[in-house]
């Protein structure tokens, strides 16, 4: 079973775009049952659907989760591929507080292991940047502890794919993230340059700098193309070695 943890230099840098393309590339490489996992999704809409008996069911659904499900080939129970669906588009620990929930890494880890029992390949997409808080001590009692997306990656012990949102400041963000990954003993197996600002100056020079400074291969350079076909993106994505 193959699995990767996709993280980013920040929120809104294209982690879902890359995760979905990675799922398709894995399927094209011969992995029949591929599934994406978004352990924590903050910012959801309430959607309803009818089952075969015509009974309506509702759930909180995040657009990133929907995109991962569309890119995968394996349908699983929602609590497996998205254990925490939180309504408010906030940092996960704040969204969880608003929803009256506490994000439990043990629960996420158990959901991941349930997925890997059924899949040939799993792509886990982190929330926000690498060290975004997922849980916090209780503001009143002080009970509990801080936990971050990095702590989750450490729990799962998966190779890391870093998505670099190509915009001003990305060099600092990418190099800091690389240091944070290495300091935890995790392996950065590849990175993707995803152009999120079409007006960014010196784009080629910034990519070249990252190629010299990031200690992992560049798996793809994705142009500014919000409506790009996922199949096309997957075809240009090199799988980590």
Q: Is 38 among the residues known to form the active site?
A: yes
How many angstroms separate the CA atoms of 177 and 188, rounded? 10
Q: What span, in angstroms and rounded, lies between the C-alpha atoms of 136 and 146?
A: 4
199: helix, strand or coil:
coil
From 27, 31, 38, 195, the catalytic residue: 38
Dist. CA 19–CA 34, nearest whole Å: 11
Neighbours of 132 (CB within 10 A): 20
Q: Report which secondary-structure segment, H or E, holds 195.
A: strand 188-195
**How many whole angstroms separate alpha carbon 81 and alpha carbon 105?**
14
- DSSP 8-state secondary structure symbol assigned to residue 116: H
Contact by Cβ (8 Å): 96, 84: yes
Beta strand segments in 39-120, E: 40-42, 45-50, 56-61, 84-86
Say how many C-beta atoms besides its own lie within 10 A of residue 25's C-beta: 23
DSSP state for residue 239 in the 8-state scheme: P
Torsion-angle region of 36 (φ positive above 0: left; ψ -120 to 50: alpha; else: beta): beta
By annotation, the residues acting in catalysis are 38
């Amino acid at each position: 079973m193959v699995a990767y943890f996709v993280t980013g230099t920040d929120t809104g840098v294209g982690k879902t775009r890359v995760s979905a393309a990675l799922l398709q590339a894995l399927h094209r490489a011969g992995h029949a049952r591929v599934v994406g996992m978004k352990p924590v999704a903050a910012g959801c809409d309430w959607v309803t659907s009818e089952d075969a008996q015509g009974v309506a069911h509702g759930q909180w659904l995040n657009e990133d989760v929907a995109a991962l499900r569309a890119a995968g080939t394996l349908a699983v129970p929602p609590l497996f591929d998205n254990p925490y669906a939180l309504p408010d588009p906030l940092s996960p620990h704040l969204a969880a507080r608003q929803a009256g929930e506490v994000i439990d890494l043990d629960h996420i880890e158990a959901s991941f292991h349930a997925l890997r029992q059924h899949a040939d390949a799993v792509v886990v997409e982190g929330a926000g940047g690498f060290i975004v808080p997922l849980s916090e001590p209780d503001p009143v009692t002080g009970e509990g502890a801080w936990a971050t997306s990095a702590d989750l990656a450490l729990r799962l012990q998966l190779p890391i794919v870093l998505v670099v949102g190509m915009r001003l400041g990305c060099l600092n963000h990418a190099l800091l993230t690389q240091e944070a990954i290495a300091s935890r003993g995790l392996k950065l197996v590849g990175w993707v340059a995803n152009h999120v600002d079409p007006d960014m100056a010196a784009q080629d020079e910034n990519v070249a700098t990252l190629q010299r400074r990031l200690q992992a291969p560049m798996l793809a350079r994705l142009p500014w193309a919000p409506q790009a076909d996922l199949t096309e993106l997957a075809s240009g994505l090199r799988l980590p070695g």
